[in-house]
Amino acid sequence: MDYKVHLNVFEGPLDLLLYFIKRDEINIYDIPIARITQEFLEYLEVIQTLNLRSAGEFIEMASTLMQIKAQMLIPRLADAIANQTIEDPRTALVERLLEYKKFKELSYDLAVLEEQQLPYFPRKVNSEYLGQAIPLNDVLQNVTLIHILAAFKRVLERIPETPSFHQVNEISATIATQTDFVYRHFIKCTKVSFSRLAESIKERIVLVVTFLAILDMVRRGQVKIRQSDLFEDFIIEKVE
């Protein structure tokens, strides 16, 4: 089956249809619907067999194709279509294909621009040590607790699940020990990023306790939290 090579290349049913059209140099305004439907169904079977991705969108398109095919097979309708007394049942599909094709081409243009831009690395500013007491730009704008939680969640995902379940470790971390842990980072500098804190933590549960400790410190006004954007790392700053 020559589809194998392309299995992961097609973004969806429209993409697949465009592939057939291009490969067979088909006139997009006069698609041989029976043949295309046959090929499409074969491909659909491959997807389903290999369970490669959700086939729902392909199934939907297959039924559209079969519907068009059926309409075109009715002799009376075929005559009417040929005489242009009723609209060609393929029209809506063709317009969808043309529109999709247009955006697909534009996406190639974007890929070219991306390629041109990749060699240039933009200036990156380290918000943790901006130095010179320059405050972070607009950091607090539109930041909510949800942003902070999102950052926490992301860090959490980086740590593998706690050991296996038969091995019950006593949790040595408490809010108090983790508050001390955070404070130890303030010896050298008054700011520390959460990801940096997390670097030395190996267990999820300890990270969770550390996060709670930080929230507790925020509540007590011992530290401030800054974050530049959703899912970004956040910075814990000691309040003097």
The verdict on 144 binding other proteins (CB under 8 A) reads yes
Residues in contact with other proteins, counted by CB under 8 A, come to a total of 71
Closer to other proteins by CB, 69 or 224: give it.
Answer: 224
Residue among 34, 71, 218, 238 that touches other proteins (CB under 8 A)? 218
Closer to other proteins by CB, 107 or 177: give it.
Answer: 107
Two structure tokens written together for 229: 């954007």
The verdict on 131 binding other proteins (CB under 8 A) reads yes
**Which 3-32 residues touch other proteins, going by CB under 8 A?**
8-9, 11-15
Two structure tokens written together for 96: 């969808």
Closer to other proteins by CB, 172 or 231: give it.
Answer: 231
* x/- map, 58-87, other proteins, by CB under 8 A: ---x--------------------------
Minimum CB separation of residue 53 from other proteins in Å reads: 9
Whole-number Å distance between alpha carbons of 170 and 204: 13
Supply angle C-alpha 127, 130, 136, rounded to 5: 55
The verdict on 189 binding other proteins (CB under 8 A) reads yes
Two structure tokens written together for 161: 């699940």
